[in-house]
Amino acid sequence: MRITVLMGGTSAERDVSLASGLRVAGALRAGGHTVTAVDTARGVLEAGDEAAMLSGRVVKTIPPNVEAMALLNRKLPASLSQLPDTDVVFLALHGGTGEDGTIQALLDLTGVPYTGSGHLASALAMDKDLSKHLFRRAGVPTADWMMAPATVEEVADTLGFPVIVKPSKQGSTVGLSLVRDPALLEGAITEAFRYDDEVMIEAFVPGRELTVGILGGVALPVGEIIPMKELYDYECKYTPGMAREIFPAELTGEQTTHVQHLAKLAFAALKLGGCARIDFRMTSGGEFFCLEANTLPGMTELSLIPQAAVAAGISFPALCEQIAQLALSSRKSG
């Protein structure tokens, strides 16, 4: 197949996206496909560009600025004009316009199949406030929450402390804070507003961190994440040795079946497609609370979906192949 891998972009998760995209491109080439790598903020990447990026490592970047967004607007249409010669677009974008349905809507206009969910589902999953409403309607438990602005008194009365403060439409825990001291609430909200125009304040659910990958409607083995810090934050996600992942998670058969069922309910509630990841917290009493859905989960060496796939007997190249094939079959059936 002729496959275009879109990566990079200008979101706060740019470096993670590049790490995912370059790894995906390499795996697809190894499978015999003709692959064009495109950084949506720069255009088509030459072999030298890819080699230079592969020599680096995932690091946190600042939020996009006006100049970066203008560059994206100039470069992306030129890239999309080349897509009719592409059989499938593999989306390795994270956050921002790459995961919020914007690029998905543009790709719909080209008629070229692309991986992941459609534009509506992508937008719903990116918006954590809307997602939680839909989770509850589908019978998927999720922690209580409210949206900023909110006073310390309102948060204390409604949710109690501690709380999680996070941008409502970001991923990779960018801009996220755990607030135990009410005096630190305002600062955490200000920090989250650096990354988004909406900020969520959510009741903190102590317990085990679990994740369930969904591939073509089938639940992959449940994984457990044990971070070296209290929260599985950006540093723990993308720094080797900062978290331990266990696949499959040490759960009873009943617990495994139940959380996989909840993950599939969440997947359906948001109208997701292709490959996605649903994250949970499990309390000491065995209750599951859905945290969020990721429509374009990371594909780096440390990412969770590739580890879940290996636990299911699916190699990374086979995973990339299956995701691309799901995009083709979805377009044909649609």
Say how far apart CA 106 and CA 109 lie, in whole Å: 5
pLDDT bin (cut points 50, 70, 90) of residue 82 is: low
Tell me if residue 15 is catalytic.
no
Single out the catalytic residue among 26, 238, 303, 321. Answer: 238
**Quick one: pLDDT at residue 39?**
85
Tell me if residue 298 is catalytic.
yes
Give SS3 for 226.
Answer: strand
The per-residue pLDDT for range 112-125, each reduced to its tens digit, is 899 999 999 999 99
Single out the catalytic residue among 14, 23, 277, 281. Answer: 277
The per-residue pLDDT for range 323-332, each reduced to its tens digit, is 999 999 876 5
The per-residue pLDDT for range 258-292, each reduced to its tens digit, is 999 999 999 999 999 999 999 999 999 999 999 99
pTM: 0.88
**Quick one: pLDDT at residue 65?**
45
Tell me if residue 73 is catalytic.
no
Mean local confidence (pLDDT), 100-109? 89
Single out the catalytic residue among 11, 117, 294, 303. Answer: 294
Beta bridge partners of 212: 278
Say how far apart CA 164 and CA 220 lie, in whole Å: 28
Percent of residues, the chain, with pLDDT higher than 90: 64
**Quick one: pLDDT at residue 45?**
82
Say how far apart CA 192 and CA 182 lie, in whole Å: 16
**Quick one: pLDDT at residue 49?**
75
**Quick one: pLDDT at residue 330?**
78
pLDDT bin (cut points 50, 70, 90) of residue 235 is: low
Burial of 208 (0-12, 13-18, 19+ CB in 10 A): middle
Mean local confidence (pLDDT), 180-202? 95
Tell me if residue 313 is catalytic.
no
Sheet of strand 163-167: strand arrangement: 145-147, 199-203, 163-167, 177-179
Tell me if residue 116 is catalytic.
no
Domains of the chain: residue spans and CATH = 2-114 (3.40.50.20), 125-142+205-317 (3.30.470.20), 145-203 (3.30.1490.20)
Mean local confidence (pLDDT), 187-202? 94
The per-residue pLDDT for range 50-72, each reduced to its tens digit, is 877 777 654 444 344 434 444 44
